Amino acid sequence: MTTDQKWSADVTGRSNAMDLEEHVFESHDAKKIAASLKRSAEHSDRRKAEPFQSAMSMLNFYINRAGKNLPAKQKKVLEDAKDELRTAFGRPKEN
């Protein structure tokens, strides 16, 4: 495991922005991922941004750091979770 992998795993697992449920990004259900991120963002008193922005940032961070090691099927689930997160926060979906 490289230093980058250790660093990103540490950030994902113990983010100072919000506490994440264990294995949240391993779920195969985009709605569950979005709901978990929403709950975590809304209940965090350590985040520096609004809940939606914090949740979306964490999701994007994970997708970007997992990169080419992320199976295409799981990347699709995580990309779908972005739309579910927007819906959960009452934001318009991007085209």
Tell me the HSE value of 60 on the side-chain side, using a 13 A CA sphere: 7
Q: Is the residue at 24 inside a domain?
A: yes
pLDDT in tens, the chain (95 residues): 455 555 556 655 555 557 788 899 999 999 999 999 999 999 988 778 899 999 999 999 999 988 788 999 999 999 999 999 999 999 987 76
Q: How many CB atoms lie within 10 A of CB 82?
A: 20
Domain region containing 27: 3-88
Residue 93 located in a structural domain: no
Report yes or no on 31 lying in a domain. yes
In contact, 52 and 1? CB cutoff 8 Å: no
Instruction: Kindly state whether residue 94 falls inside one of the protein's structural domains.
Output: no
How many domains does the structure of the chain reveal?
Answer: 1
Q: Is residue 17 part of a domain?
A: yes
Q: pTM of the entire structure?
A: 0.80
- The three-point CA angle 46-31-41 to 5° equals 5
Residue 95 lies in a domain: no
H helix and E strand count, the chain: 4, 0
